[in-house]
Amino acid sequence: MVIPIYSKKYLAKTISEIKSAQYSGKKVKLRGWISKKRSLKQKIFLVLRDSTGHIQTVTSSDSKAWKSAEEITTESSCFIEGVVKKDPRAPDGYELIVSKILIVGLAETWPIARDTSSEFLRDIRHLSIRDPKQQAILKIRSGVISGFHEYFRSRGYHEHQSPSFTPTPGESGAETFEVKYFGKKAYLTQTWQLYAEMMLPVLEKIYTMAPSFRADKSMTSRHLTEYWHAEAETAWQEFPELLQTIEECVRYICSKISKEYASEMTLLGSDVKYFSKLPKFKKLKYRAAVEELKKAGFKIKFGDDLGTTEEKYLVDKRKIPLFITHYPTSLKAFYMKRDKKDPDQVLASDLLIPGIGELVGSSERSLDFEDVKKRLRSAGEDPKKYEFYFDSSRYGKIPHSGFGLGIERLVMWLTGAESVKECIAFPRTPTRFTP
């Protein structure tokens, strides 16, 4: 039995569907919302929007729909019937000559004007997301997420979910949200990683798509307190293969978006051709990066973390994604494996992307749990809280590695958005948790 998605009385064509020679001259019924309205003496132009696109409709004064066209307001929901007309002067080359309008929900005066401030737009985010460019960004976001699923599933990975409430912070030194948990202390997860490692003897290759929470007070275009995290953990994988996986994954997503969302990218002014075939990613060791920054006049020394300014300088200079590898042990998390050639460095990388900086954090994981305990103590953490994690070393430890990627930052790069706040429907920041 086939169950229809919509009741029969609500059935209609989509806007993208009827924009073709096949429908030219034919009568169709559309449904959606009025994005724009322009009234003349003899004609009323209404731009109808649905989730697939926009189309200009034309209602003449002698049409039975004239009264409804006069009455209808911006963002009202409606059904519109009419004949599709091919017209090179119309946006996308097609318009609808209206014969009937049925108003479903008559909208009040729309509160958004052209000169509305960005802060006010975020105050009424539940309405401002109807903007065509915002719609395009959120479509691309959907495509990015589906692309991750496609990439990992096609390579034999299993999807796995880890807890959002955790007994430990997860990454020493990172800002955490501490919550009361039935009289005990718990934390909102920053990463699935510790639990993911426990799953490798069960599923070997796993990935997830889940929210992560960081009580970071940074008020920048790159930071959110709740963001979506694409993470993967792979058994029997060492550092070189890890970097290869990351590059393949990012390339796959970018290629997919450039093919399937080219019209959205064009609307946003993004370079479809560039993302369709990204240049080979570059690699640069941390030590060499520091020397390069010194020569460029940056006040930095070995052991200093790379800030946004330094990251953007390094990657924007090359104009292609750049792996910074072999960071000092002191700068990275306790679970990252030391480099045998230089134990003061870890087999870790940050993938930087032009205009933004860090996109992916990754590492091969340490199997020396005595060293891990020492590093926890030096960070002020009690190793006893991590006993469940250390159990893995007692029962068949294996080489393994993993990475985490911020979805909103990738969407920001693909769309050219000014902030990650535009790349999630309802952003959460240190000063905002509504609407």
DSSP assignment of 44-60: EEEEEEETTEEEEEEEE
According to the model, what pLDDT value does residue 5 have?
A: 57
Question: Does residue 335 have a pLDDT over 70?
Answer: yes
In whole angstroms, what is the distance from residue 227 CA to residue 209 CA?
Answer: 10
Instruction: Report the candidate in 23, 30, 21 with the shortest Cα–Cα distance to residue 57.
Output: 30
Q: Are strands 178-181 and 184-188 parallel, antiparallel or unpaired?
A: antiparallel
Which of 185, 179, 230 is CA-nearest to residue 208?
Answer: 230
d(CA 52, CA 321): 32
Q: What local confidence, expressed as pLDDT, does residue 6 receive?
A: 65
Tell me which H or E stretch contains 276. helix 272-276
User: For the ranges 114-123, 264-273, 338-347, which has the lowest average pLDDT?
Assistant: 114-123
Share of the chain above pLDDT 70, in %: 97
Helices assigned H by DSSP within 27-131? 66-71, 118-123, 125-128
The reported pLDDT for the residue numbered 152 is 98
Q: What is the pLDDT of residue 174?
A: 61
CA distance 397 to 384: 19
- What's the CA gap between 178 and 344, in Å, rounded? 32
pLDDT in tens, 157-179: 999 999 999 998 766 556 899 99
Q: Helix, strand or coil for residue 280?
A: coil
Asked if residues 420 and 214 have their Cβ atoms less than 8 Å apart, the reply is: no
List strands edge to edge, sheet with 178-181.
165-166, 184-188, 178-181
- Residues 209 and 418: beta-carbon distance below 8 Å: no
| DSSP bridge partners of 211 | 228
Confidence of residue 1 (pLDDT cuts 50, 70, 90): very low
- Does the pLDDT value for residue 371 go beyond 70? yes
Q: State the average pLDDT over residues 26-49.
A: 97
**Residue 390 confidence (pLDDT) above 60:** yes
User: Is the per-residue pLDDT at 246 higher than 70?
Assistant: yes
Tokens of 59: 């209602």
Report the distance separating Cα 62 and Cα 85, nearest Å.
18
The string of pLDDT tens digits covering residues 395-407 is: 999 999 999 999 9
Residue with tokens 């065509």: 132
Q: Could you give the CA distance from residue 152 to residue 246 in angstroms, rounded to a whole number?
A: 11
Residue 99 scores a pLDDT above 70: yes
pLDDT (0 to 100) of residue 172: 53
Contact 361, 336 (CB under 8 A): no
Instruction: Give the per-residue pLDDT at 377.
Output: 94
The Cα 40–Cα 79 span in angstroms is 22
Q: Give tens-digit pLDDT for 60-97.
A: 999 999 999 999 999 999 999 999 999 988 888 999 99
Tell me, what's the pLDDT at 12? 85
Helix (H) or strand (E) run with residue 258 in it: helix 239-260
* Count, residues in the chain: 435
> Structure pTM?
0.94
Core vs surface per residue 304-334: b (16+ CB within 10 A) or e: eebeeebbbbbbbeeeebbbbbbbbbebbbb
Q: Does position 216 have pLDDT exceeding 90, yes or no? A: no
Give the chain's domains with CATH numbers.
8-105 (2.40.50.140), 125-422 (3.30.930.10)
The amino acid that residue 79 corresponds to is F
Closest among 361, 380, 352, 363 to 227, alpha carbons compared: 361
Q: How far apart are CA 435 and CA 426, in angstroms?
A: 7
Average pLDDT, the chain: 94
